[in-house]
């Protein structure tokens, strides 16, 4: 879960920006070599930014950076 916690810190700092978007979150995630992109893509099948907000990111250690719309932030979770 360490991998998710590290990325969550970076994403939540970015989420405080008035210009924050799913695209910016993904750009930040692309810089993190611990994101499992195949599982992330599968997890977000049917994703709609207008409805869902931001994508959930799956990490190589199995942990997850999950978008919590009510808090307008990410949370680290076990898969």
Using one digit for the tens of pLDDT, what is the confidence trace for 24-61?
Answer: 999 999 999 999 999 999 999 999 988 899 999 999 99
Q: What is the mean pLDDT of residues 10-19?
A: 95
In which band, very low, low, confident or very high, does the pLDDT at 70 lie, cut at 50, 70 and 90?
Answer: very high
State phi, psi for 45 to the nearest 5 degrees. -60, 125
**For all residues of the chain together, what is the average pLDDT?**
95
CA distances from 48 to 16, 62, 78 (A): 21, 23, 23
Closest CA to 44 of 60, 65, 75, 27: 65
Question: What is the pLDDT at residue 79?
Answer: 72
Q: Which position has the token pair 């210009």?
A: 19
pTM of this structure: 0.91
Give me the residue spans of the domains in the chain: 2-78
Strands, E assignment, the chain: 57-58, 63-68, 73-78
Contacts of 42 (CB under 8 A, 6+ apart): none
């Amino acid at each position: 879960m360490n991998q998710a916690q590290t990325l969550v810190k970076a994403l939540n700092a970015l989420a405080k920006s008035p210009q924050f978007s799913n695209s910016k979150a993904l750009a930040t995630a692309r810089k993190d070599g611990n994101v499992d992109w195949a599982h992330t893509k599968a997890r977000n099948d049917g994703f709609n930014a207008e409805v869902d907000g931001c994508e959930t990111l799956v990490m190589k250690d199995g942990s997850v950076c999950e978008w919590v719309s009510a808090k307008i932030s990410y949370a680290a979770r076990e898969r």
